[in-house]
């Protein structure tokens, strides 16, 4: 964690992976995985989206969104690769299958660098259902989804090695949902790498 972020959230600040929903200019909902730094009470957030992201553009425009905590890693994987199709059930910006949600409002936005820094405060929250928990496969899917979003930053051999390592806990502990999610991510990465090889050989 950056030392500059500690004064904003205190010594108990930690990164929590979740899903953020924001409103697009056309009135549709954008769904994106994101790992903000939060305080223990989840009353404040520090988001660091890239300036190229839809979440950044929407937060700059509207100044508000919803952060969801969920154990649905298949949704997490789908959102990492683009908008889930079909879209999950929503009530406004709230994912109804989420475990907990936190509506937030932007307090400050620094976009001088490519990686922005957006500080926000919780203005409302709610609970939809109990958090089932994570097995090793769920953790592996989240790690694989993060890798898939950084495919342009990681060498191919390293990327494939990481997916091979993550495949072991998926094979041992995954339900069908986690198996589908991991396969989706694995297929996406392989397709991207195959396409890159074809571009090189042309």
Q: What CATH number has the domain bearing residue 86?
A: 2.30.110.10
Based on the fold, state whether residues 29 and 80 are members of the same structural domain.
yes
Point out the residues of the chain with pLDDT beneath 70. Answer: 1-11, 198-202
Count of all residues that appear for the chain in the document: 202
CB-based contact 15:37 (threshold 8 Å)? yes
- The dihedrals phi and psi of 21, each to the nearest 5 degrees, come to -110, 140
The predicted structure's pLDDT at residue 200: 57
Question: Considering Cα of 173, then 178, then 182, then 183, what sign does the dihedral take?
Answer: positive
pLDDT of residue 199: 63
State how many domains the chain has: 2
pLDDT at 167: 97
Domain enclosing residue 177, as ranges? 136-201
Domain termination residue (choose one: 127, 158, 173): 127
Among the candidates 127, 159, 186, a domain finishes at 127
Q: Are residues 31 and 65 in the same domain?
A: yes
pTM of the full structure: 0.90
pLDDT at res. 64: 98
Secondary structure tally for the chain: helices H, strands E: 6, 10
Phi-psi region for residue 42, left (φ > 0), alpha (ψ -120 to 50) or beta? left
Question: How far are the Cα atoms of 11, 44, 49, 52, 90 from residue 118, in angstroms, in the given order?
Answer: 19, 11, 8, 14, 25
- pLDDT for 1 equals 38
CA-CA distance, 105 to 65, in Å (whole number)?
Answer: 7
Same domain, 122 and 62: yes
37 and 109 together in one domain: yes
Instruction: State residue 196's pLDDT score.
Output: 79
59 Cβ neighbours under 8 A, 6+ residues apart: 22, 47, 49, 65, 106, 109, 118, 120
**139 within 8 A of 176, measured Cβ to Cβ:** no
Q: Are residues 120 and 25 in the same domain?
A: yes
The verdict on 83 and 33 lying in the same domain is yes
């Amino acid at each position: 964690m950056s030392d500059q972020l500690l004064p904003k959230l205190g010594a108990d600040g930690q990164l929590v992976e979740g899903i953020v929903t924001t409103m697009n200019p056309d009135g549709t909902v954008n769904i994106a995985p994101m790992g903000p730094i939060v305080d223990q009470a989840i009353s404040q957030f520090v988001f660091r989206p890239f300036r190229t992201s839809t979440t950044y553009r929407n937060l700059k425009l509207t100044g508000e969104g919803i952060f969801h905590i969920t154990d649905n890693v298949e949704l997490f994987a789908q959102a990492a690769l683009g908008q889930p199709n079909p879209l999950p059930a929503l009530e406004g910006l709230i994912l109804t299958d989420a475990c907990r949600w936190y509506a937030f409002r932007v307090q400050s936005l620094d976009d001088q660098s490519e990686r922005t820094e957006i500080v926000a405060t919780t203005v409302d929250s709610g609970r939809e259902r109990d958090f089932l928990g994570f097995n090793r496969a769920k953790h592996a899917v989240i790690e694989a989804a993060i890798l898939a979003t950084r495919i342009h930053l990681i060498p191919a051999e390293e990327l494939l090695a990481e997916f091979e390592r993550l495949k072991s806990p998926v094979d041992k502990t995954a339900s069908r949902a986690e198996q589908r999610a991991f396969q989706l991510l694995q297929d996406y990465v392989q397709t991207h790498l195959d396409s890159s090889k074809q571009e090189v050989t042309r």
